[in-house]
Structure 1
Amino acid sequence: MFRRTFWFTSGVAAGVWATTKVNRKLKQLTPENLAVTAANKAIEAGHRLKDRAVGFALDVRDNMVQREAELGDALGLNAPVADRALPPPRRYAAIENRTGPEHVEGPAHQKNPYNRNEDH
């Protein structure tokens, strides 16, 4: 008799367990639940992508700062201010010369309307 009771109880327990599992799976497969699950997974994927993009941007910025420092050292831009010499003063190429032959008035020297300094 115990044997029959044992198997009957085991069958009932297996039936309850199987019914519970099937009902849970059916609730997960409803359209509303599928939409919520898809939205949650999309949000999680967006957060992961954002974290990777931020990490990539920080890596790029760090490498950019390092490369700028290397170029500054190679070009001498990072030297202390006291060691730098001032550049020589600029000389202007287009200074008027009032004593040249183009400024002498008379029939032999007529003014040319073309000014070569305006073309550059």
Structure 2
Amino acid sequence: MFRRTFWFSTGVAAGVWATTKVNRKLRQLTPESLAAAAADKALETGARLKDRAVGFVLDVRDNMAQREAELGEALGIHEDPALPAPRRYPAIENHRSPSRRSGHIESSTYPQQKNPYNRNEDH
């Protein structure tokens, strides 16, 4: 009698264990669960790539500054910290910029380009 009870309870336990495992696996394979897992994996991958990209950018900036210093020494160019930084002009002129309207930039610096077609006139 004891042997039958033992094997019966062993069978019940195995059945419960198998049913639990199957139900858990079925829940993992639902579309919502798969989408959530894919989104989590994408976020992790994006964070890892961002960390690597930031490190790469910082390395490039450090090496660029070091190389500029080497070239400056080789060419005998030394930046004086008392002097202002050289002016940089935009590649494309912005006619609506506040500095343009207030007259800070001379008109001879940038040639005026005329566009015969104005798409706003059609409306």
TM-score tier by shorter-chain length is 0.5 to 0.7
Coordinate RMSD, CA, aligned: 2.0
Structure with higher RCO (Cα < 8 A, 6+ apart): 1
% identity of equivalent residues? 78
Number of equivalenced pairs? 81
Aligned counterparts of 2:2 and 2:77: Cα–Cα separation in 1: 94
Greater Rg by CA: 1
- Match of 2:58? 58
- Match of 1:67? 67
Aligned counterparts of 2:43 and 2:60: Cα–Cα separation in 1: 26
- Match of 2:8? 8
Q: Please identify runs of 4+ aligned residues in structure 1 that moved more than 3 A.
A: 78-81
Structure 2: where are the runs of 5+ without partners?
A: 82-123
Alpha-carbon contact 1:73-1:79 (below 8 Å) kept: no
Map 1:28-43 → 2, pairs under 5 A: 28-43=28-43
- Match of 2:45? 45
Aligned counterparts of 2:67 and 2:4: Cα–Cα separation in 1: 82
Structure 1: where are the runs of 5+ without partners?
A: 82-120
Map 1:18-33 → 2, pairs under 5 A: 18-33=18-33
TM-score by length of 2: 0.59
After TM superposition, the structure 1 stretch with the greater mean CA deviation from structure 2, 35-44 or 12-21, is 35-44
TM-score by length of 1: 0.60
